[in-house]
Structure 1
C-alpha cells in the first residue's frame, strides 16, 4: 500500500542524517543498541500501526465510546491492538529496563509513537496518559507505591490519567475545590469532581490509577496549597484484593475526531469512601504534575504532527489518482487528456505547503526528544543544563505549533 501515515524517508533523514542519533550508541547507556536495531523498531511499529491500529480507526470512530449504566466501553475493535501494543512493550519502549522498559533512546520511541498516533490517535490516548502516570510514580513514588502501581502502569495492565480540570477550575488550576481530608491511617479521603478527563473510565484495563490534584484541608489557597494524590478506581483491601474506591464516571464527552477516546467527568468520594495516597510532599502537587503535563504537551505536538502527516499523505495519494481537467499547457486543446490533479500548479502549491510544514514540525519534535536523550546521558552538569534548557524552551513550542499547524 502507498505510504498513508508517515513519510519513512523523512523520519530516517532526521534521525540519521540531521541528528545522527546512531552516535547515541557510543554512550554506555545505549551501547547495546545499533542503527539496525533502531530501524527494526521503527519497522515493527509501522507494521503494527498499519495492520492493527489503522483499520480500527474508522470503525472505532463510527462506533464510539458507550456509556451505559455507569460503565464506559471503548469500541470492541480497540481491544486487540491495545493488547498487542502492551505485549510488544511499546508503552515503555524508552523507559529503563529496571522498571520493565526496553531502554531505547527517547527519540526512537518518539518515532515509533508517530506511526501509532497517525494510525489511530483515539486509541493512543489510553497508553499515552498511562505512561505519564507511570513516570510520576517512577520519579516521586515511594518504593511501596511503585510496587503497587508503577509496574502495572508501565506494562499497560492498568491505565492511568491526570485529573486537573474542574467545573470552575480550568486554566485557573489554583481555584480547584477538590478536598483531601486526613485519615487516621495517614492517607486521605478525596472529595470532589473533575471534568474533561481523558481515559477517565474504560474497559481496556482492569483498573485505572488517577493522578488527582486536591487541596489538603488547611493548606494555603491558590496553586501553592495543591497536593497530588494517587487515587485508583479499585484500591487494595487489607487482604490484597481489589475493592471499589468510590470513583464514579458521571458522563462522557463527545470530542470531534476522537469518538473512540473516553473523555469523562469523574466524581470522587460521593459516599465518603474514596481514599487517596499522597504522592511526593504536601503542597508540591503542581510542581510534580508539571512533569506529567510537559510529557503530555510533547504528545499533543505529536498528535498534531501525526494527524497532519496522515492528512498530507492521504491528500498526496488522492491527488495522484483523481483525474480532473487538463494540463495547464494544454488549456486550448479540446482533445487534451484529463490529468491527475497533482499536475495543477495550485494543487502542487498546497501539497508543498503541507509537506514543508509537516517536515518542519517533525524536525522540531524529534529534536526536542533528542535533547531529552542528551540531557539524560550528559557527562557534566553544564551539558545537562544546556540540553534540559533546550527542552524547557521547546516543549511549549512543540505543543502550540504542532497542534496549530498539524
Structure 2
C-alpha cells in the first residue's frame, strides 16, 4: 500500500530542487552534514511515521486520556511509540550537539517533522517538551540548564507551556496568577492555568512547566509579567527527584479532536507551597515566552500542512478506487461502464485545489524554516537581516493560513468521500476533527492577523515587507518567459502588485487616523496575502519543474508541442508526470484562486464599517 502521509517526491523536490538545502553543508555551522545524511534522517522519519506513529492515530483517538486520582493516563499505544521516538533522538533535532541535539538545519528538521504532525495528539508531547527545553537553553542559568535540559532533550522529562487562564486567553495581560518571592530567591506560584497541552501524563518521570505569572507588586498588564519554571517533582542536588510540587490536575478537557493529547486545567499552589524558579529576568516573561510561542505557531502551521497532506492523499486514493457514474463522454449511454470518480470534473476540481493547497503550504513552511537557516549562517549583517525579515513576516502566514487552509483541505477530502467520509469507519472525519483546533490555539488566527498588520508589515519601517515583495518579483522575472509558465505568470504578477498596493493602502489608512480600517480587515488581508504567497511558491515550483521538463523532453527526443506524444510521455515517465503536476497545480491556482485576491482588495478598499456599526441588539432577536 502506498504511503498516504505525504508525497516524499514532493518533499525531495522542495528541499533540493527548489531550495537547495544541501548548499547549507558548505557553511561551517552545517559542515558535518551532507545530502546523504539528510536523506538518511528523512528515511528514518518516514519509517517511524509509517510503522509506529500513524497506527496510533485512530487508536489514540478512540481511547483518549483519563484522569484518576490527580494523574493523567494517555492512550496505551503511545508508550511504545514515545520510547522509540525519544530513543531515536527526534526531540531537539536542531539543538546544538553539546546540548544533546543533532545541530540539524531548521529546514531539514521541518521536513522530518512533516512526517509526524498528522498525529498531533501524539507529537504534542515531545515537541512541547522541546519548546520548553529551548526556552531554558536560551534564557536559563547554567544551573537550570544542568538541572533540566539533558533529561528534557532525552525525553525522560517532559515540558509544557502554561499561559492561558480562565479570564486571560488572548489577553494575557489580564492574568491573575501570582508569584510570591521567597528569602532564598525562589518563588511560590498561586493561580489557575487552563488548556495546558500535556499538562500531565504518564510518558515521562517529571514535567517542567514554564508558567507566566506576576510577581507581587509588579505592574499590571503584560509589562509586569515574568516567567517561571515549575517542576512536577522538585529536583535534588544529585539530580534525583524530590517531593511532589504543590499543584493539582483538576480536570482534563473532553475535546472534539486530538483526544490523545491531555489538555489540562492546573491549580497551582493550593497549599501555598508551589515551588518555582525565575527564568530569565523579572518582567521579561512575555518577551521570553514569545520565543516558544513563535516556535509553536510554526508548529501549528505544520499541523495544518500535515493534516491537509494526509487528507488529500487519502482522498486521492479513494477517488481512484470508488466507481460511480459513467464517463462524461458517455453520459447518455445507460450501458456505459462505471468509472472511478476521479474522472468526474467536480472531483478533479477538488483534487487539484487540494494539491495546489498542499504543495504551496509545504513550500511556505519549508522556506520559512530555510530563512532561519540562512539567518544563522549569513555573516553579512544586511543579508542576515533580510532572511530574518522574511521569517518574521511569514510566521503569522504559516500559522494562520496553513491552519485554516489545512482544515479546508480536510473538509474537501471528506466531500470527495461523499457520505462515507462522514462515517467513523473512514479516516477523514478524524483528520478534520483533529485539525480544527489549529486555527484556535497558540494565538487564534484573528490575533495572527492583527500581529501581521500591526507589527510585521511595519517592521524596519516596512522594509521587511518590501523585501519580501521584491523576492516575489525576482522569482517571477526569473521564470515568467518559460514555456507554460508564461501562460499564468501575469496573474501571479498582478496578485503581487495588488498585495503591494494593499499594504500601502492599509499603512496610509493608519497615517490618516483611520486605524479601524486595517483592524477590521486584518484577517481578510492575511488570507489574501496567504493566497499571493501561495501563488508565488507555486510559480517558483512550476518554473523549476518546467526547466526539468525541458531537459527531459530534449533528452528523450519528445516534442512538447505535440500534445499526443507529450501526453504519452508524461503518462509513461514518473518524473515527467511529477513535474507536469507542478505546472498544472500552479496554473490552476493562478487562474482559479488568485482572482479572489482582487475581490478581497476591493472589499478592503470599501472601508465598510458595518461590523462595528451594527448594534449588538441587531445580531438576533432572541
Scaled to the shorter chain, the TM-score interval is: over 0.9
Q: Which residue of 2 aligns with 1:227?
A: 226
**Per-residue Cα deviation, 1:237-284 (whole angstroms, up to 9, x for no partner):** 467542101121110012222110000000110111101100000000
Of the structure 1 ranges 179-188 and 384-393, higher mean CA displacement relative to structure 2 is found in 384-393
Q: Which residue of 2 aligns with 1:336?
A: 336
Q: Which residue of 2 aligns with 1:315?
A: 315
User: Alpha-carbon deviation of 1:32?
Assistant: 1.6
Give me the whole-angstrom Cα distance separating, in 1, the residues matched to 2:160 and 2:255: 17
Q: Which residue of 1 aligns with 2:291?
A: 291
Alignment map for 1:271-286 (pairs within 5 Å): 271-286=271-286
Question: RMSD of the alignment, in Å?
Answer: 1.0
User: Alpha-carbon deviation of 1:71?
Assistant: 1.0
Q: Which residue of 1 aligns with 2:381?
A: 381
**Per-residue Cα deviation, 1:327-376 (whole angstroms, up to 9, x for no partner):** 11111222211111111111011000001011111110100000011111
Give me the whole-angstrom Cα distance separating, in 1, the residues matched to 2:9 and 2:257: 28
User: Alpha-carbon deviation of 1:388?
Assistant: 1.2
The DSSP-based 3-state class of the residue aligned with 1:299 is: helix
Q: Which residue of 1 aligns with 2:397?
A: 397
Matched, 1:249 2:244: no
Give me the whole-angstrom Cα distance separating, in 2, the residues matched to 1:46 and 1:224: 44
Q: Which residue of 2 aligns with 1:361?
A: 361
Alignment map for 1:26-37 (pairs within 5 Å): 26-37=26-37
User: Alpha-carbon deviation of 1:153?
Assistant: 1.2
The DSSP-based 3-state class of the residue aligned with 2:299 is: helix
Q: Which residue of 2 aligns with 1:261?
A: 261
**Per-residue Cα deviation, 1:37-72 (whole angstroms, up to 9, x for no partner):** 111111110110010001111111000001112110
**Per-residue Cα deviation, 1:283-302 (whole angstroms, up to 9, x for no partner):** 00000000000000000000
**Per-residue Cα deviation, 1:176-202 (whole angstroms, up to 9, x for no partner):** 000100111110010000000011111
Which segments of 5 or more consecutive residues in structure 1 lack a partner in the other structure? none
Give me the whole-angstrom Cα distance separating, in 2, the residues matched to 1:97 and 1:144: 19
Q: Which residue of 1 aligns with 2:93?
A: 93
Alignment map for 1:7-86 (pairs within 5 Å): 7-86=7-86
The DSSP-based 3-state class of the residue aligned with 2:104 is: coil
Of the structure 1 ranges 63-72 and 374-383, higher mean CA displacement relative to structure 2 is found in 374-383
Q: Which residue of 2 aligns with 1:236?
A: 235
Q: Choose 1 or 2 for highest CA Rg.
A: 2
Q: Which residue of 2 aligns with 1:103?
A: 103
The DSSP-based 3-state class of the residue aligned with 2:160 is: strand
Question: Is this contact kept in 1: 2:186–2:275, CA < 8 A?
Answer: yes
Question: Is this contact kept in 1: 2:162–2:196, CA < 8 A?
Answer: yes
Q: Which residue of 2 aligns with 1:207?
A: 206
The DSSP-based 3-state class of the residue aligned with 1:163 is: coil
The DSSP-based 3-state class of the residue aligned with 1:261 is: coil
Of the structure 1 ranges 286-295 and 29-38, higher mean CA displacement relative to structure 2 is found in 29-38
Give me the whole-angstrom Cα distance separating, in 2, the residues matched to 1:138 and 1:68: 34
Provide the aligned length of Structure 1 versus Structure 2.
Answer: 405
Q: Which residue of 2 aligns with 1:300?
A: 300
User: Alpha-carbon deviation of 1:3?
Assistant: 2.6
Give me the whole-angstrom Cα distance separating, in 1, the residues matched to 2:197 and 2:359: 28
Question: Is this contact kept in 1: 2:3–2:50, CA < 8 A?
Answer: no
Give me the whole-angstrom Cα distance separating, in 2, the residues matched to 1:91 and 1:217: 36
Question: Is this contact kept in 2: 1:237–1:243, CA < 8 A?
Answer: no
Question: Is this contact kept in 1: 2:121–2:260, CA < 8 A?
Answer: yes
Q: Which residue of 1 aligns with 2:142?
A: 143
The DSSP-based 3-state class of the residue aligned with 1:191 is: strand
**Per-residue Cα deviation, 1:58-88 (whole angstroms, up to 9, x for no partner):** 1110000011121100000001111111100
Q: Which residue of 2 aligns with 1:177?
A: 176
The structure whose residues are more often strand, as a share, is 1
Give me the whole-angstrom Cα distance separating, in 2, the residues matched to 1:213 and 1:304: 27
Of the structure 1 ranges 294-303 and 146-155, higher mean CA displacement relative to structure 2 is found in 146-155
The DSSP-based 3-state class of the residue aligned with 1:264 is: strand
| TM-score, length basis structure 2 | 0.64
| TM-score, length basis structure 1 | 0.98
User: Alpha-carbon deviation of 1:382?
Assistant: 2.0
Question: Is this contact kept in 2: 1:198–1:262, CA < 8 A?
Answer: yes
Give me the whole-angstrom Cα distance separating, in 2, the residues matched to 1:302 and 1:81: 20
Question: Is this contact kept in 1: 2:191–2:269, CA < 8 A?
Answer: yes
Give me the whole-angstrom Cα distance separating, in 2, the residues matched to 1:117 and 1:404: 16
The DSSP-based 3-state class of the residue aligned with 1:283 is: coil
The DSSP-based 3-state class of the residue aligned with 1:193 is: strand
Which segments of 5 or more consecutive residues in structure 2 lack a partner in the other structure? 407-622
Give me the whole-angstrom Cα distance separating, in 1, the residues matched to 2:67 and 2:313: 34
The DSSP-based 3-state class of the residue aligned with 1:91 is: coil
The structure whose residues are more often helix, as a share, is 2
Q: Which residue of 2 aligns with 1:326?
A: 326
